[in-house]
Structure 1
Amino acid sequence: MTTQDGKEELEAQFAQWRQYVLRRKELQPLDADELEDHLRGSVDELVAAGLSPDEAFLVAVKRMGSLDELSREFAREHSERLWKQLVLSADTGGPVAATRSRRDLWALVICAVGAAVSVKVPALFGLSLEDDGSFYARNFALLALPWLAAFLAWRRKASRPVIAALVALFALGAVAANVYPLLDTSQSLVVTSIHLPIALWLVAGLAYVADEWRSSRRRMDFIRFTGEWFIYFVLMALGGGVLSAFLFNTFKAIGILPEEFISYWLLPCGAAAAIVVAAWLVEAKQSVVENIAPVLTRLFTPLFTAALLAFLVAVLWTSNGIDVEREALILFNLLLVVVLGLLLYSLSARDPLAPPGPFDRLQLALVVSALAIDVLVLLEITGRITDEYGGTPNRAAALGENVILLVNLAWSAWLLLNFIRRRTPFAALERWQTGYLEVYAAWAWIVVLVFPPVFNYV
């Protein structure tokens, strides 16, 4: 290889390394410049000491691997190069990493078992899943999510003020769920059962971001964590369903019906434990789901866009209004949340430095379609509240949520449009979404704490 060929090969390796670094959402271009400058300086020193450029690059990456986890991850991904052998040892991190891994595993076991046991603790006080379903509807998140928050806070080494805030917020949720006199048939029970898990999930988000709760970058990491956690949880739920079916039918073949064990022990305890286990999988096995999640996002975005456009065409064609009864409200709100989730997760998985492309235009179409449906639902809810039926907890909560979603979707559409037209940086859209998490948290707590007494607990 000539000297010129060696230089070209070296520059190609620098370019590949820089491209990988810039894919990390937590790094800005200036950070990448600083890392690359450090790497180049190390390579120059090694070349001056007599190594070839290719050898110098490999050794420099090895040195950075001991200083920076980025190089270790880079070596994992590019396993076809010698970097994997140079940067990764057999235990992928030595005694310190192995000790950390064992501690994480013990923390996982303790928190998962704690969540599973917590689900059965109310039974010691005479509260059963069969006879006291409303209690579990209000409290299931309170039984499981504190253990998730504890695991995340331990992982992040959260400070005492953050831990105190977590304890206070979970205690506030427990008071709201159990002090108000909510009847089993009341709408206030329904809105509390829906909104309290949302509020408490965002409390778990505080444990995830820990002392960096003001950081837009860390909030986007939590959004990404939420999407990946959901994928793992669904996969585990499907596996649990298969396990339950096999368990039921194999025992049935010998004359034993384990229906009660499955319904009152395996499924609730397994679901609570899976909440923590899914979080551990996200933390420990990110590379697996990071390859799956973007593919799922790109698969379902066009499908949901087509479905929403077809619905709008049907509304215009038939001139039929939207039914705003409770089940329909929940359905439409879930639809809008799914659309928002697709947008959020695609943002978190996107390269912020990449130019706008066809997929961004498809996302804009999806957001605009959801925005149009949100407007139709809002008009129908407002008309029912003012003209015919009056206000109920369900309709009031749906009205507020649709207004919040309307603002989010409208400004997101505007930012996406300007990004596609190259007038707004992609970072502006990220900051808008991460900042809006506080709005969702505030509204969820308002519904849980304020709505029941305002509507006389009906």
Structure 2
Amino acid sequence: MDINNRFIDNMDNPHELERMFRIEPEAFKKSFSYAWEQNPDSQVLAVWFERLHFKETVNTEKASLLQKDFLFMGILAFLAGISTRIIMHFVEQQAISPIILVFGVLPFIATYFVYKNSANKNILYTLVALFLISGIYMNMLPLENKDSIILAYLHLPIFLWVLVGIAFTGNEYGMGRTRLAYLKFNGEFCILYASMAISGMLLTALTMQLFSFVGMDISEFYFENVVLFGAAALAIVAAYLVSSNLKLAKNIAPYIAKIFSPLVLVTLLVYLITVIWVGKNPFLDRNFLLSFNGILLSVLAVTIFSITESGTDEKKSISDYINFGLIVLALIIDCVALSAIVFRLSSYGITPNRLAVLGVNILICANLIWIMLSYMRFILNKTGPSTIQDAVTKYLPVYGLWAAFVTFIFPLIF
């Protein structure tokens, strides 16, 4: 039977029309044009007309937008690579601190998000001012290994990360769902960047080997120029790919969260039992106390990553109970760490390091309690998962404010 006649004969059979479209989409479109001319009053064909033509219009607009985004991303990636190489030159001359290298990447990622989200002028001016003030201030600090300056260096990336978050959320910076999207972006960004970085390392190894065959050692030049430039530019590319809804990272991230959460829980339990068994004391051992805080931050990061990737499913799963267990263990670790820090402060006096560690532990403790209580209400069927996500997203500005305080005020106080 002629496909045009078959199309007309099945006009009242939606299932058959859908089947014909999926088998031979191009032939279907030609037959549709013929049938539409013969039956302009058909409601079924009117729906198909809107479906086919609306889809083509959206694709055209999307393709044009992606081309503009791609071009802008390419320019920013090139500028990030060049800027990072220039900053590295001054770092090698010991004229500036190595932490200034973050200004070769993060401002360009923020610029891309401001462009993509069409942020209003107030947000744009605020971000430009804060990035400039941060850069000028950090370069004014003396190149000394004082505790307050080292703390400022360590907290600067956190503060700038919050600024990138403001650029990402754009005009909706106060909404929980956009902050949650930013946290998801970070997880997917890390996965994608690591994947591409591994590919880059393989390419680097191959390049080194090929040139060694002809008796040339290009390692110094290659690492100082190509690798450094590529590492900075790759960050912009990864941000573009993740924000363009790349399916690879979005599909992998939830599985990584489900795999790592139970592994971290088991590892942490074994570690704590071992610590008790061997009699390690964080109250007296400074290095052990620092490692304790490092574990705390790692567990908090894994827990938040798992929460952001859990979605909005009202049904509880084994992952929720694992996350709850992680939060309880992290809270126990934090309480021990807080006790040890207070003990050291009362015994040995106030120092920038002790005050900074005390502050961040208090902030984490409050955040963990909020998340734990939200999880308890969710497990008891009193609330949905959104309350847990709110406990994570609404607390983010607090970390940013603390990072800003340590970065800008600690060097002045101490």
Pairwise CA distance, 1:258? 1.5
Alpha carbons 2:299, 2:330 under 8 Å: kept: yes
Q: Please report how far the alpha carbon of residue 300 of structure 1 lies from its aligned counterpart in structure 2 after TM superposition.
A: 0.2
Q: 1:127 aligned to 2:90?
A: yes
Structure of larger gyration radius: 2
Residue 140 of structure 1 aligns to which amino acid in structure 2?
Answer: L
Distance 2:50 2:300 in 1: 40
Distance 1:419 1:210, change over 3 A: same
Give the counterpart letter for 1:113 in structure 2. F
For residue 412 of structure 1, what is the aligned residue in structure 2? Answer: 371
**CA displacement, residues 109-137 of structure 1 (integer Å, 9 cap, x when unaligned):** 111111111112246xx6243x42x8342
Q: Give the drift of 1:172.
A: 2.0
Counterpart position of 1:83: none
Which stretch shifts more, 342-351 or 420-429?
A: 342-351
Change in 2 beyond 3 A, CA 1:331/1:258: farther
Aligned pair count? 377
What is the aligned partner in structure 1 of residue 51 from structure 2? 62
Mean CA deviation greater in 323-332 or 343-352: 323-332
Q: Which amino acid aligns with 2:385?
A: F
8 Å contact from structure 1 (residues 374, 406) kept in 2 = yes
1:144 pairs with one of 94, 105, 123: 105
Distance 1:331 1:216, change over 3 A: same
Q: Which residue of 1 aligns with 2:383?
A: 424
Supply the distance in 2 between the matched residues of 1:220 and 1:269 (Cα, whole angstroms).
Answer: 31
2:144 corresponds to 1:179: no
Q: Percent identity?
A: 29
Q: Residue 64 of structure 2 corresponds to which residue in structure 1?
A: 99
Aligned counterpart, 1:343 = 303
Offset of residue 244 of structure 1: 2.2
Distance apart, 1:151 and its partner CA: 0.7
Runs of at least 5 residues in structure 1 that lack an aligned partner in the other structure? 1-8, 11-47, 67-86
Give the gaps of 5 or more residues in structure 2: 1-13, 16-40
CA distance in 2, matches of 1:329, 1:263: 36
Matching of residues 197-346 of structure 1 within 5 Å:
197-322=157-282, 331-346=291-306
The AA in structure 2 aligned to 1:114 is L
1:359 is aligned to 319
Q: Normalising by the residue count of structure 2, what TM-score does the alignment of the two structures yield?
A: 0.83
Q: Determine helix, strand or coil for the equivalent of 2:149.
A: helix
CA gap of 1:99–1:336, structure 2 versus 1, over 3 A, is: same
CA distance 1:180–1:409, change in 2 (3 Å): same
Kept in 2: contact 1:415–1:429 (CA 8 A)? yes
Contact 1:122/1:128, CA 8 A, preserved across alignment: yes
Q: Is the 8 A contact 2:257 2:309 kept in 1?
A: no
1:17 corresponding residue in structure 2: none
Write the letter of the residue equivalent to 1:238.
I
- What residue identity is the alignment partner of 2:65? R
Aligned counterparts of 1:136 and 1:383: Cα–Cα separation in 2? 33
- 1:77 is matched with none
Structure-2 separation of matches of 1:350 and 1:180: 42
How far is 1:245 from its partner?
Answer: 2.0
- The reply on whether 1:448 has 2:411 as its aligned counterpart is no
| Alpha-carbon distance in 2 for matches of 1:165, 1:202 | 13
Q: Distance in 2 between matches of 1:325 and 1:205?
A: 37
Structure 1 contact 116–273 (Cα < 8 Å) conserved = yes
- CA gap of 1:187–1:238, structure 2 versus 1, over 3 A, is farther
